[in-house]
């Protein structure tokens, strides 16, 4: 708890799929609040969280809001640093080329450094 | 956060418009420019062309992103549309004193911005 | 060096693989709540790469009938040990 963390970005790890409870939305809300106060924010999509980036999603059958409009909005909050875990992406048959947002692919061996370079880290 | 609790009604052009305890529209589809004028008049605000520029930007923002913006993204959206002179918090503070993001969202018929204090 | 906390059973999701991938070579892992099911063989095999830096919360093992059942290389810690781990590490990352 002793290292200097003031210059580090806040990291939100998104591990839950869209339309699966409120995890994804709550994680994005934390990122938006931090960014609204001028904090540098990194988003890391991991596990089922990478499903948030899959193109072609809509609102839910009962009219529940989808997350794509929120992802489109991130740039307005100056949240530009999107990372995606390459392993999780490959496991789901996705590639960065087909993602509608410029998310940077993070190889497994680079993942610990991304997490260690951020503070605080929030997992959703 | 959207709310469904009706605190009172405002009569605009013969229609009753439901407002929540903080004065936001309960049914967003109730909004018309006349509703904005009536909400503003209640607080002795007069909406000029400069105010309407901002309300239009807010309505576009909500149409695209389904959320009312906090102050920073609102300033950015205004700057993108109207240029750097107006894309400053000072300009918005002058038009919508106190809390521009909240006041302007309310007049524009948006839900209360959730990610700002 | 970070302390990672895991509170899910390894049998219920692929979270474990994500955590292992996210951990640096010196980072430590503390199994808490349902995470302690992962301390017991054969499930503990999933954490074998973390020998020497994998811990399980004693209170959570005991309450689940797992006291003394954990793999011999998994280090049980009590609440005081938990606090000591957080003090030895720079930050804590929770996984659930």
Distance of alpha carbon A110 from alpha carbon A121, whole angstroms: 16
Query: What are phi and psi for residue A16, nearest 5 degrees?
Result: -115, 145
Q: Within a domain: residue A64? A: yes
Q: How many domains does chain B have?
A: 2
3-state secondary structure of B19: strand
Averaged pLDDT, A50-74: 92
Residues of B annotated catalytic, as ranges: 116
Q: Within a domain: residue A3? A: no
Residue B17: beta bridge partners?
Answer: B10
- Asked whether the beta carbons of C46 and C14 are under 8 A apart, the reply is no
* pLDDT tens, residue by residue, B20-57: 999 999 999 999 999 999 999 999 999 999 999 999 99
- Chain B interface, mutation test: which of A31, A35, A76, A100, most B Cβ atoms within 10 Å? A76
Q: Is pLDDT at A106 greater than 50 in this prediction?
A: yes
Question: What's the alpha-carbon Rg for chain B, to the nearest Å?
Answer: 13
What range does the domain containing B30 cover? 8-42
Chains contacting C (3 or more CB pairs within 8 Å): A
pLDDT beneath 50, residues of chain C: none
Q: How many domains does chain C have?
A: 1
- Asked if A109 is an interface residue toward chain C (Cβ–Cβ < 8 A), one would say no
* pLDDT tens, residue by residue, A79-95: 999 999 999 999 999 99
Q: Are residues B65 and B102 in the same domain?
A: yes
Q: Minimal Cα–Cα distance from B116 to chain A, Å?
A: 7
CATH number, residue B31: 3.30.1420.10
Q: Within a domain: residue A30? A: yes
Averaged pLDDT, A18-26: 92
CATH number, residue B56: 1.10.10.370
> What's the pLDDT at B116?
64
Asked whether the beta carbons of residue C27 and residue A123 sit closer than 8 angstroms, the reply is no
CATH number, residue A60: 3.40.1260.10
pLDDT band of B117, cuts 50, 70, 90? low
> What's the pLDDT at A1?
44
Q: Are residues B77 and B57 in the same domain?
A: yes
Distance of alpha carbon A28 from alpha carbon A24, whole angstroms: 6
* Least CB–CB distance from A36: residue in B61, B66, B115: B115
High-pLDDT (> 90) share of chain A, %: 85
Q: Within a domain: residue B79? A: yes
pLDDT band of B1, cuts 50, 70, 90? very low
Q: Minimal Cα–Cα distance from A18 to chain B, Å?
A: 16
Chains A+B touching (3+ CB pairs under 8 Å) = yes
CA dihedral of residues C3, C4, C5, C6 (deg, nearest 10): -160
Q: Minimal Cα–Cα distance from B114 to chain A, Å?
A: 9
What range does the domain containing C16 cover? 2-95
Q: Within a domain: residue A52? A: yes
């Amino acid at each position: 708890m002793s290292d200097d963390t003031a210059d580090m970005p806040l990291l939100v790890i998104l591990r839950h799929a869209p339309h699966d409870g409120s995890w994804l939305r709550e994680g994005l809300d934390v990122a938006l609040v931090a960014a609204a106060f001028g904090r540098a924010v990194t988003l890391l999509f991991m596990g089922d969280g990478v499903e948030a980036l899959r193109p072609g999603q809509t609102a839910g059958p009962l009219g529940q809001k989808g997350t794509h409009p929120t992802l489109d909005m991130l740039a307005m909050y100056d949240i530009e640093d999107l990372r995606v875990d390459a392993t999780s992406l490959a496991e789901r048959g996705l590639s960065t080329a087909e993602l509608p947002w410029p998310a940077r692919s993070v190889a497994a061996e680079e993942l610990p450094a991304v997490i260690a370079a951020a503070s605080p880290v929030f997992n959703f | 956060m959207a709310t469904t609790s009706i605190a009172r009604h405002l009569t605009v052009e013969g229609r009753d418009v439901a407002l929540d305890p903080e004065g936001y529209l309960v049914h967003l589809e109730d909004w018309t420019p006349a509703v904005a004028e009536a909400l503003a008049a209640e607080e002795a605000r007069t909406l000029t062309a400069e105010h309407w520029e901002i309300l239009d930007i807010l309505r576009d923002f909500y149409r695209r992103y389904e959320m009312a913006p906090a102050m920073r993204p609102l300033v950015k959206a205004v700057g993108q549309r109207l240029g750097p002179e107006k894309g400053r918090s000072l300009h918005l503070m002058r038009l919508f004193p106190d809390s521009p993001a909240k006041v302007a969202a309310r007049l524009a018929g948006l839900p209360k911005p959730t990610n700002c204090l | 060096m970070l302390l990672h906390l895991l509170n899910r059973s390894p049998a219920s999701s692929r979270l474990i693989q994500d955590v292992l991938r996210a951990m640096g070579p010196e980072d430590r892992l503390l199994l808490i709540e349902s995470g302690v099911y992962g301390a017991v063989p054969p499930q503990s095999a999933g954490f074998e790469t973390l020998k020497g830096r994998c811990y399980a919360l004693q209170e959570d093992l005991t309450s689940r009938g797992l006291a003394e059942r954990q793999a011999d290389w998994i280090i049980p810690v009590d609440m005081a040990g938990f606090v000591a781990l957080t003090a030895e590490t720079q930050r804590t990352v929770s996984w659930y």
